[in-house]
Chains A and B, each alone.
Chain A
Amino acid sequence: MSTTATTIDRAAPPEAGPRAFIRRLRDGDEIAHVVTLVFAAAILLITSLLVYELWMDSRLSRAKFGWDFFWTRTWDPIFDHFGALPFIYGTLVTSVVSLMIAVPLGLAAAVFLAELAPRRLSDGIAFLIDLLAAIPSVIYGLLGIFVVVPLMRTVIGPALKAVLGKLPLFGGPNYGVGFLTAGIVLAIMVVPFIISVSREVLLTVPGDQREAALALGATRWEATWQVVVPWARTGIMGSVFLALARALGETMAVTMVIGNDPKVSASLFAPGYTIAAVIANEFTEATGDLYLSALIELGLVLFLMTFILNGLARILIVATERGGGHPS
C-alpha cells in the first residue's frame, strides 16, 4: 500500500526568517526524532517481549512434547496429552474458507464502488462499510448463531449436499455448526476490510491510466480489469492479508459457531476448533501446569503462523511487483 502513497514536499525549508526560528525548528526536529524513535523501538520491544513470554511460559510443554506437538491430534487435559494439529487445521481451514468467499465478493464490491457507482452513492456505502468493520465480533457471533447456523442446517447445507454430497468435503452429518459456518461468519466479518481498503486503493489509481486504456479502444470492463486493478494490485493484496490476519485471530464469533470439537475432519460440515478459540475457552479453568503451558504454546504457534503468513505475503507482493511490468 505504501507504494501508492504520494509524497508531498511539505517539509521545504522556509525561505526567509530569523536564525533563531530555524534553530528552534531544528531543536524541535531533534526532539521529534528522539520521541518517534522511542515509540518505534517500543513496538519492537513489545513484540520481542511477547515472543519471549510465550517462549518461556511454554517451556514445560515444549520440553515434554517437542516437535510432536505440531502433529499430535489428541487434546486431553485429564491425561495431560496435548497436540496442536486439530487447532492449526481448524484455524487454517476457517481462514481459507472465509477468504475464498470474501475475496471475490469484496473485490467485486470495491470495483463497483470505485469505478462504476456514482461518487455520492460510493461514499455513502463506504461509510456504512467502515461502520461494519467496527462492529464487535461477538455481534457477528450472535448473527452466526441466530441466522447462519439455522440457514446452514435447513437451506445451505442440504443444498450443498444435494449437489456436491459425493465429495468428502461435503460428507458427514450437518449440524449447522462447523468449519463452513465459521468460514461464512468470518467472511462476513472480513469483507468490509477488503472492500474498504481496496476501494481506497482503486480510487488512487491516476485517471490517466484509465483514460489511456479507453483511448486505446478498451471497453470500460477491460480498462478496469486489465489496467486499473493490476495497478492497485499491491494495495488489494494488502487488504486481503489484513483480512487474513483478522480471520486467523478471531475468537468469539468463531467459537460460537464452529462446534468446538478438536478433530481433523475432511468434511466442511464437521465441527472443528481454532487456536484462538481454545485458548479463550480453556485458559481460565486450566489448573495443571502442563495444561497451561500447552495452551501458551498454542499461542506461540498462532504467533508463528501469522508470522509465516505475513512473510509469505511480503514475498508474494515483491514477486508480483517484479513480474508485472506496471509502475507502482
Chain B
Amino acid sequence: MKKIVLSSLLLLCLAATVSAQGNTLLLNAAGATFPYPIYSKWFDVYHNEHPNIQINYQSIGSGGGIRQVLAHTVDFGASDGPMSDEQLAQAGFKILHFPTVLGADVPSYNVPGVTAELNFTQKALAGIYLGTITKWNDPEIANANKGVNLPNADIVVVHRSDGSGTTYIWTDFLSKISEDWKNKVGKGTSVNWPVGLGGKGNEGVSGLVKQTPNSIGYIELIYALQNSIPFGKVQNAAGKFLKADLAGVTAAAAGAAKDMPDDFRVSITNTPGAAAYPVSSFTWLLIPAKIDDAAKRDAVKGFLKWMMTDGQTYNETLSYAKLPKPVVEKEMKAISLIQ
C-alpha cells in the first residue's frame, strides 16, 4: 500500500513536471472505463496533431466521472449511462451530453454438447435473468432453436459484480422488454440481481462462463470480438435474430436518431429497424455548458469537432461502432451551446 502511494506520488510529480513544460494547455477529464481504449487513442492522436493541447483522462468509472464533473474537479467527464434528471438538477449548472461511440452487449454461453449459435428471444433472456426460466430445454429457448439438442440442465446465470456500463446497457434492455424486470429490478450500473453469480469485469464473467457448464453471461461486444469469444443471437424489436456486429450497433443508433432529444440523453436499446441490434448504447462525454476559461473552451470545442469527424475513423480498428451520420450532424450543431 505504501509503495502504491509512493509510486503514484512520484508519477504525479512526473506528470506535473511534464505538463509544466512549454505552453501546453492541460485538460482534465475522468469517467467511464468502457470507452477508455478509444478515448486514450483519441486524446493521444489529438495531442500529436495539436501539441499545445493535452487531455488527461482517468478511467475511474462513470459514477466517479459524474461526481467529479459536479464537483468541478475536472474539465469534463464521461459516463456510460446518461445523468438522471435529479443529478442534473442538483448540479446547479448546465451539463451537456455528447455521445462519442457506441457499445453493445452480447450473450455468451457454455452448454456442453451445443456448438450451434443459439437464438435468444427477448422473453427468454428476460426469463433467464429473472429466474423464471431455469432449464436450457425450456420451450421459450427450444422453440427458437429448432434442431439443437438442448440439455435438461439448470441454467447458471452470470452477471457483472462490479458497477459497469455493460450492466447498464443489459438492464436497460431487459427493462424495455419486460415489465416484470422494470418493476422488480430496474436499470443501472449495479442492480439487485434476482439470480446468478457475479464476475468481476468482462474477464470475470467470460471466465466464469467458460469454466461453468450450462452457464450464460453477458459481455461487451468489443471484449467478445477481441478475444474471439463465441456468442449468441438476440431477437430485436422487429422480431429478427441478430448476431451483434458494429454495423448492427450503428443501425440501432440510426434508428433512434429520428427522435433524438436535444440533450442526447437517449436509450437506444430495442430500437425499431430490422438491422438494429437491440442491446446497444451510446456512451457520453459530460461537458459543462459554460466554460469560463476561453482557451479551455476553444480546446474542448475543437476536440469535439475533431472527435465527430476524424476521430470516428479510429473507432472500428478498436472495435467500437461509429456514430451514425444524423447523430454527428446534430451534435455538431450542439457544440455551439458550449459558451
Contact = CB atoms under 8 A, between A and B. Distances in A.
Leading 7 A-B pairs by shortest Cβ distance: A285-B163, A260-B198, A284-B61, A260-B161, A78-B186, A76-B192, A285-B189
Contacts, number: 95
Interface of A: 74-79, 81, 145, 149-150, 153, 173, 175-177, 255-256, 259-261, 271, 273, 277, 280-287, 292
A175 B156 contact: yes
B213 to A, nearest CB: 9
Given A255-B161, A260-B200, A286-B63, A77 B188 contact: yes
A175 B212 contact: yes
Given A175-B156, A287-B66, A261 B200 contact: no
21 contacts: A76-B191, A78-B185, A78-B191, A79-B192, A145-B211, A177-B197, A256-B200, A259-B197, A259-B198, A261-B196, A261-B198, A281-B161, A281-B162, A283-B163, A284-B33, A284-B163, A285-B164, A286-B163, A286-B190, A287-B87, A287-B188
A145 B197 CA distance: 14
Interface in B197-227: 197-200, 204, 207-208, 211-212
B154 A173 contact: yes
A79 B187 CA distance: 10
Nearest to B195: A261
B274 interface: no
Contacts of A77: 163, 188-192
Contacts of A255: 161, 200
Given A256-B204, A284-B63, A285-B63, A176 B199 contact: no
Interface residues of B, number: 37
B105 to A, nearest CB: 16
Given A173-B154, A261-B198, A287-B63, A282 B192 contact: no
Given A78-B185, A281-B162, A286-B63, A260 B191 contact: no
B197 A260 contact: yes
Q: Is the interface of A mostly helix, strand, loop or mixed?
A: loop
B127 interface: no
Contacts of A81: 192
B60 to A, nearest CB: 6
Given A79-B186, A284-B163, 7 more contacts: A77-B163, A145-B207, A150-B211, A256-B200, A260-B197, A284-B61, A285-B165
A259 to B, nearest CB: 4
A261 B62 contact: no
A287 B192 contact: no
B193 interface: yes
Contact of A287 (B62, B204, B211, B212): B62
